[in-house]
Amino acid sequence: MFHTAPHPCRTPDGLPAGGTSTDADRFAGIRRDFTPEDVERLSGSFRVKHTLAEMGARRLWHLLRSEPYVPTLGALTGNQAVQQVKAGLKAIYLSGWQVAADANSATQMYPDQSLYPVDSVPTVVRRINNALRRCDQIARMEGDGSTYWMAPIVADAEAGFGGALNAYELMKAMIEAGAAGVHFEDQLASEKKCGHLGGKVLVPISQHIRTLNAARLAADVEGVPTVLLCRTDAHSAQLLTADVDERDRPFITGERTPEGFFRIRKGLGVKYAIARSLAYAPYADLLWWETSEPNLAEAEEFANAVARAFPGKMLAYNCSPSFNWQKKLSPEKIAEFQRTIGAMGYKFQFVTLAGFHSLNYGMFQLACGYRDRGMAAYSELQQAEFAAEAEGYTATRHQREVGVSYFDAVAMAISAGKSSTTAFAGSTEAEQFHGAAPAPVVIPAPRQDHDEGLVHGHEWATSAPLTR
C-alpha cells in the first residue's frame, strides 16, 4: 500500500483550521509506503511547532523552484555560516565529513566513516541556527533589515547510522535542530565511507527505500515538509550486501568477498547510478549521485535519464574538493560548470568541505607569516579585514559581531535604562575600530512580523485556540 495524496504532512497545532503546512503541490508525485492514518496514529495527542525547520524547508523549496540553481558551501561552524550569509549565499550545506573531522560531540578527529556519535550533525545544525539567529537579533536591534539571516541548512544524515528506525530518529533530531533539508545515502551504515574513498558497500535498493520512507514518515509525524535528498554511491561502489532485490542483480557478479558481499560489475557505474536513482525517485525530493570526477558528459547522461522517467525531478551535485578541478577541466569550463549543470536540472550544488579547507589553509598561511614576521603578519590580516568591510564584512569588530551590543541592550531593558555595567561603551573596539556599531534603535511592540521564510504573519501564535 502506498499514498500519494497532496497533503499527508500533518498540520502542526496552532495553524488555522483547514490550514496546510506547505504548498498544495509540494508533494506532487511523492510516494509514501504508509498512510495518513499511520501518521495520525504515530503523532501523539499534541504537536510541537518546529519553526526553524518548517520555515527553512519552505524557503529552501522556494529557492530550488525559483533560482537557476542554489550554490552552497560546507560550513563547519556557526561563524562560517554567518560569513556565507553576509557574502550573499542563500543556503548552507552541513557536511558529515567536516563534522567527523572537527566538529563532533565525541571531540575526536575522525575520517568520514560514521565513527562519530549520531547526535553530532544535529548539534552543529543547532549551533549554526543559533549563530544566524543571533545575527538576526543584532541586525533588528540596529534597524538593519537588509539581510535575510535564516538561510536554510541542508544536513548530512550519512547512511542513517543503522536501520530504518535509526533513520527515523535521526530525521526527527535533524528537524528538532532546525534542518531544512536532509540527505541519506544507500551505503551500508556499518561500513559507510566517504563517497571518494574505496571499500564502499551498498545496501539493496529495497532497503534504502525503507530508509527514505522512514525519513519521510518522521517529517510527516513532526508536521514539517523537510526536503529529502537521496544519494546513491553506485557510480564507484564495488560491493553489495545482498542480491535479494532483483533490480540489483544485473549489476553484480557471482563472486563473493570473504565477508560475503557481492561484487559489483565494473564499468557500469553510471548505468547503475541511474537504475538506483530511478527506483528512489518517487520517494525523494532531489536525487544526488556521487560522482568520481566533474564529468559533464556523465552528468548530462544521468540528468537526461532521470528527466525522461520523471520530468521536473530536481537533482543535486557535489562539486567536490576531492576533484582536482584544473586537472579535469579548463579554467573556462570550471567557471561555467555550475551554470552548465544547473541547466541540466542540478538545482542544489555544494562544495562539501569548503569550511575545512578554508579554515586550514587560512590558518596555515597566517601561522607561517606569524612565525617569520610576528605581529606584522597579523596586522596584514587585520588590514585585509578592514578592506573587506566595503564588501559587507564586519567580523573585524569581533565584540559587536558576537553580540556585545545586543546584550548591552538586554541589560538596559532589564534595568529600565539605568545599567552602569554595559560592555561596549568604553571598550577598545569602540575606541579604536572605525565604523563601530551604530546606536540601537527602538523597535515598536508588540511584534507581529516574525518571518516564516517567505511570508510574514504568525496568526497561529496569537489567535489560534490552544486545543485541537
**For 255, which DSSP code?**
E
Measured in degrees and rounded to the nearest 5, phi and psi for residue 182 equal -140, 140
Catalytic residue (one of 135, 194, 230, 319):
194
28 Ramachandran zone, left/alpha/beta (phi>0; psi -120 to 50): beta
Strand runs labelled E in 367-443: none
Phi-psi region of 18 (alpha: psi -120 to 50; beta: other; left: phi over 0): left
**201, amino acid identity:** V
Cα 353 to Cα 370: distance, rounded to the nearest angstrom: 26
* Catalytic residue status for 194: yes
Could you tell me which residues come within 8 angstroms of residue 434 by beta carbon, excluding any fewer than 6 positions away? 386
From the number of C-beta atoms within 10 Å of its C-beta (0-12, 13-18, 19+), residue 280 rates as buried
Q: How far is CA 201 from CA 167, 186, 237, 240, 268, in A?
A: 18, 9, 6, 5, 16
Contacts 24+ apart (CB under 8 A), 251-255: 251/275
Residues with active-site annotation: 194
